[in-house]
Amino acid sequence: MHVLVPVDDSDPARAALEHAITTFPDAEITVLHVINPSISAYDGDVPYNFQRAVEAEEEEAERLFDAAREFGEEHDASIATETIVGAPARGIVEFADDADVDGIVLGSHGRSGISRVLLGSVAEQVVRRASVPVTVVR
């Protein structure tokens, strides 16, 4: 079994990883971070730089992956990691299709406040579009 766990730096994403590892202990788990440079934080003192935004997010992804691998090791789970650039919901669904995953486990939300209202819920979009079962963890 191959389980995809999209992650960001949120409590629901950490809960999703824990759920995936404990619920599917023998599964191949791929932790995915989707870089969306259009909404990445940037330093207001300098003009927006797409490459700089991607690089900053790649560094953040490595930190998230290190934490995921450490958690996986604690639970004797095998963790693969991937980073893609694009719109989160679309990227997650396309990656799931391309990587032939059997299921997706993701946090209920990674953003809060106005950005969530404006962007919609990634989890909701993944549930609607995915061709495999999706478990949403709070």
Segment 23-46, tens digit of pLDDT: 999 999 999 999 987 655 555 555
Structural domain boundaries enclosing 58:
2-137
For the residues of 1-41, what is the DSSP string, one character each? -EEEEE--SSHHHHHHHHHHHHH-TTSEEEEEEEE-TTTS-
Residue 53 in contact with residue 42, Cβ under 8 Å?
yes
pLDDT of residue 134 exceeding 50? yes
Q: What angle do CA 132, 126, 78 make, to 5 degrees?
A: 60
The pLDDT assigned to 75 comes to 95
Q: What is the pLDDT of residue 114?
A: 54
Instruction: Say how many Å lie between the first and final Cα of the chain, rounded.
Output: 23
Q: Kindly tell me if the per-residue pLDDT of 112 is higher than 90.
A: no
The total number of structural domains that make up the chain:
1
Confidence of residue 117 (pLDDT cuts 50, 70, 90): low
pLDDT, one tens digit per residue, over 44-75 is 555 667 788 788 889 999 999 999 999 999 99
Distance, CA of 136 to CA of 127 (rounded, Å): 8
Q: What is the pTM of this model?
A: 0.86
Residue 31 confidence (pLDDT): 98
Where residue 17 sits, what CATH number does that domain have?
3.40.50.620
